[in-house]
Structure 1
Amino acid sequence: FLEGGRVGSRFYSVQAAPKAKGSAAPRVQLTPEELEITKLSSGLVIASLENYCPVSSIGLFIKAGSRYETSSNLGTSHLLRLATSLTTKGASSFKIVTGIDSVAANLNFMIGKI
């Protein structure tokens, strides 16, 4: 492993990377954005926030559960949880999940109190 007090040439993974030379691009100070809330005519409320990142996150929050359900719509939150793994005529649940994975996306469903 050690050859004359230094790491052997075969163990590249344990060697430190050489320090990059040259000047780095100047750092740009990004100011945090205010939360923007938009209510559509359909009643859908959209909250958006600029994060200066090429990756996006989308959260869907639905007022469901025992707090919001009446006797006419009992089980809505349970149905929504089950719907995340349903299939369609043209795609199985496996095909849907692999399609989501192919674009490096992630699909989660969680039930909880907010």
Structure 2
Amino acid sequence: MVDTEAAPLLISHQPAPAKAPSIDDVVETYIGDTSAMQLLRAALVAFAWAFDAQQVFISVFTDAEPPWHCTSTHCSPSAASPCALPRGMWAWDRPPETSVVSDWGLLVR
């Protein structure tokens, strides 16, 4: 028979496992509380991203090939591109400054 007075000695009294820290706790531990310095850092990072976005999206405006049209009656309007036509038989629909392609006359031949 088990002695009832000895039973409490057999039960180990271990502390409850620690609760895992939340993401907010980790951020506050390593970065600190929200302050003016933290807001300044966030603003500087956002400012840098604005310049990065310009580099990413500049190709949308510079590499676009604007529409063109035939200027001669001998030109076939069904031509897929102006590359196969002589330069005087077609023209850009928009001003040449619209795109780098039209401004510099970049055509694949």
Higher relative contact order (CA 8 A, sep 6+): 2
Higher strand share: 1
What's the TM-score once normalised by structure 1's chain length?
A: 0.23
What's the TM-score once normalised by structure 2's chain length?
A: 0.24
Give the number of the structure whose alpha-carbon radius of gyration is greater.
Answer: 2
Higher helix share: 2
